[in-house]
Amino acid sequence: MKHKWLLVILLSACVVSCSNDDDNNPAPAVDTDAPKTGTWRVTLFTDSGKDETSDFAGYSFSFDSDGTAAAAKGAANKSGTWSISSSSREFNLNFGAKTDANKPLGELTDDWDIISISATEIKLKDDNDDSDEFLTFTQN
């Protein structure tokens, strides 16, 4: 009988100590105004663990407050869109479809999980952990 009471007490303690309101995934550090300032360059892009940063050499990016994004390299310009989710957990970027004709900018089209956003750096990772994609913009 003592063992049953001991078991009941231990189980009760476990139930009381567990809580559903623990935040195991706190919101990242996000300065939501930072992307709207100045121009940016890609300083890291990995796809499936392969470093493809050099594909973006010479590109300059801007993110306007109206949700438009622009990529420029020399005389070539490409328009797109961007947004940060209301929870500040996702950076949504769209420069068109991921096709060979739209490389490399189409590779940036995704719903990126935000690692951090500061006045000088935007660090993102793909929302699909299996893709092993990371993207970092650094302000020029």
How does pLDDT run across 34-92, given as a tens digit for each residue? Answer: 899 999 999 999 999 899 999 999 999 999 999 999 999 999 899 999 999 989 899 99
Is 20 part of any domain? no
Q: Is residue 24 part of a domain?
A: no
99 within domain boundaries: yes
Domain count, the chain: 1
Residue 15, pLDDT > 50, answer no
Which two three-digit tokens encode residue 61? Answer: 């990016």
Provide the percentage of residues in the chain whose pLDDT is more than 90.
64
Three-class DSSP category at 117: strand
CATH code of the domain covering residue 91: 2.40.128.270
Does residue 117 form part of some domain? yes
In a domain, 67, yes or no: yes
pLDDT at 19 > cutoff 50: no
The length of the chain in residues reads: 140
Q: What is the pLDDT of residue 102?
A: 86
* 12 belongs to a structural domain: no
pLDDT of residue 6: 43
| pLDDT computed for residue 131 by the predictor | 87
Domain that includes residue 61, residue range? 29-139
* Neighbouring C-beta atoms of residue 66, cutoff 10 Å: 7
Rounded to the nearest integer, the mean pLDDT of the chain is 85
Indicate whether 6 belongs to any domain: no
Q: Which residue has the tokens 């594909």?
A: 55
Q: Is residue 13 part of a domain?
A: no
Question: Which residue do the tokens 């622009």 mark?
Answer: 70
Model confidence, pTM = 0.79
